Amino acid sequence: MYIANQEDLEAFANRAMRSSVLAIDTEFLREKTYYAKLCLLQLATDDETAIVDPFEVDDLRVLAPLLENESVVKLFHAGGQDLEILLREVGTLPRPLFDTQVAAALLGHTQQIGYAALVHAECGVTLKKIDSFTDWSRRPLSESQLEYAADDVAYLPRMYERMRAQLVELGRLAWLDRDFEDLADPKRYATNERERYRRLKRVSQLSRRQLAAAREVAAWRELEAQRRDVPRKWVVTDEQIVEACKREARTIDELFMVRGMSDRLSTKDARCVVALMSSALDAPPDAWSEPDRCGKNEPNVDAELDLMCALVRLRAKQNGVAFPTLASHDDLARVARGYREGVDVLRGWRRSLVGEELLRLLEGKIALSLSNGEIKVTEV
């Protein structure tokens, strides 16, 4: 069903309120904008599939009551970007939700398994992916595009039922509660321009004083990119920000010594940037930015990490859980360096599966050894 007017969208939303599930996917473009440009919204219930043309309907916010209906489980696959778009376009986030990619990692599938691979594994269907990189903003859409778009939600209800049953049988359904709560938290999709500098490429090259300048310039760039709705790098690149801060540029001439900077910034913008940098560079040390705590200045824990990774790999294999789902490398490094708060591997089901053992390993209470090519865990 192709929906190209508000009346049909409202009628579908009313019918979907009686469904047990609502599968959701989006097609969007983001190459030339800061915000994703929604080009298509695909929805599937227990008994029908709808393809919504956002260029033709008047207001997607009519879907808000449906997304907030607690009796309808919303289904996604790798839904992070879809959820961000729904929050912006509809004004709310769906609850409750179930993400098949997240769940798959607890059922022996690889981390971040693709939709087509999971459909093949769970449903025995091979999907055509010829339209993966099509231009979804062009109209009219071809039959091939419409078929591809519908397939992206058509199999989610069936996979959900199969995977949910497997998780219940393994006693793992509740393990996903925290992950899905995090996905449905609006704070996850909020932009804090004051923290953006921490994600700059090569930011570790900067001193604390220079980081203060980078914080101001990165924040200015974030707001400017939002205002103009263009990619950040179209305003100024990460590398240009870092280089300008390394030079501690205080004048437009010094700023424009950074390669390509004069091509990107107008004189007005350049004047604003050097003013921000100068103010930050002249600020007292207590106003400077703090570098990330787990950085190059912390103790080397390579030996500990090797042992910890071996233990996590063993428990992941034994329990049919993807390694990165059980413990990220960053989490393991933080635990090895003594951090105990705000670390996923030390919370909930992850702590039960391997977190407690990791702590005992670091305390020297258990040891790893090889026996007939297999890793053994022994008490010390």
- Sign, CA dihedral 197-199-200-202, equals positive
pLDDT digits (tens, 9 = 90+) for 62-108: 999 999 999 999 999 999 999 999 999 999 999 999 999 999 999 98
Rounded percentage of the chain residues whose pLDDT exceeds 90: 88
Where would I find the beta strands (DSSP E) of 261-373? 366-371
263 by Cβ neighbours in 10 Å (0-12 / 13-18 / 19+) ranks as: exposed
pLDDT value at 129 more than 80: no
Return the percent helix, strand and coil in the chain, to nearest 5: 55, 10, 35
User: In the predicted model, is pLDDT for residue 163 greater than 70?
Assistant: yes
Per-residue pLDDT at 16: 98
**If pLDDT is split at 50, 70 and 90, which confidence band does 299 have?**
confident
CA distances, 3 to each of 13, 143, 358 (Å): 11, 15, 53
Residue 246 has a pLDDT of: 96
131 pLDDT tier (thresholds 50, 70, 90): confident
Neighbour tally for 368: CB within 10 Å: 15
In the predicted structure, residue 297 carries a pLDDT above the cut 60: no
The fold of the 2-189 domain, in CATH, is: Nucleotidyltransferase; domain 5 (3.30.420)
- What pLDDT score does 134 carry? 87
Has residue 262 got a pLDDT over 80? Answer: yes
pLDDT in tens, 34-69: 999 999 999 999 999 999 999 999 999 999 999 999
Question: Distance between CA 235 and CA 231 in Å, rounded?
Answer: 7
Which residues lie closer than 8 Å to 188 by C-beta, 6 or more apart?
A: 182
Task: Name residue 182's amino acid.
Answer: D
Coil, strand or helix: which one is 291?
coil
Helices (H), 124-207: 143-154, 156-170, 177-183
Question: pLDDT class for 298, splitting at 50, 70, 90?
Answer: low
Bond prior to 291 in cis (omega within 30° of 0): no
- Reading the block at residue 178, the tokens are 């925290």
User: Which pairing describes strands 73-76 and 97-99: parallel, antiparallel, or unpaired?
Assistant: parallel
Distance of CA 9 to the CA centre of its chain: 29
Give residue 53's pLDDT.
Answer: 98
Selection from 266, 264, 336, 256 nearest residue 294 by Cα: 336
- The overall pTM is greater than 0.85: yes
* Domain 193-287 part of CATH 3.30.1360.70: no
Question: 302-379: same fold as 193-287?
Answer: yes
| Three-class DSSP category at 233 | helix
DSSP 8-state assignment for residue 52: E
**Residues 28/149, Cβ–Cβ less than 8 Å:** no
Position 114 confidence tier, pLDDT thresholds 50, 70, 90: very high
For residue 379, give both structure tokens. Answer: 């008490």
Chain segment 193-204, per-residue pLDDT in tens: 999 999 999 998
The mean pLDDT of 12-17, rounded to a whole number, is: 98
Give me the amino acid identity at 266.
S
The CATH architecture to which 302-379 belongs is Orthogonal Bundle (1.10)
The C-alpha atoms of residue 303 and residue 128 are separated, in whole angstroms, by 46
Q: Domain ranges in the chain?
A: 2-189, 193-287, 302-379
Q: Which helix (H) or strand (E) holds 277?
A: helix 267-281
Residue 238 in contact with residue 200, Cβ under 8 Å? yes
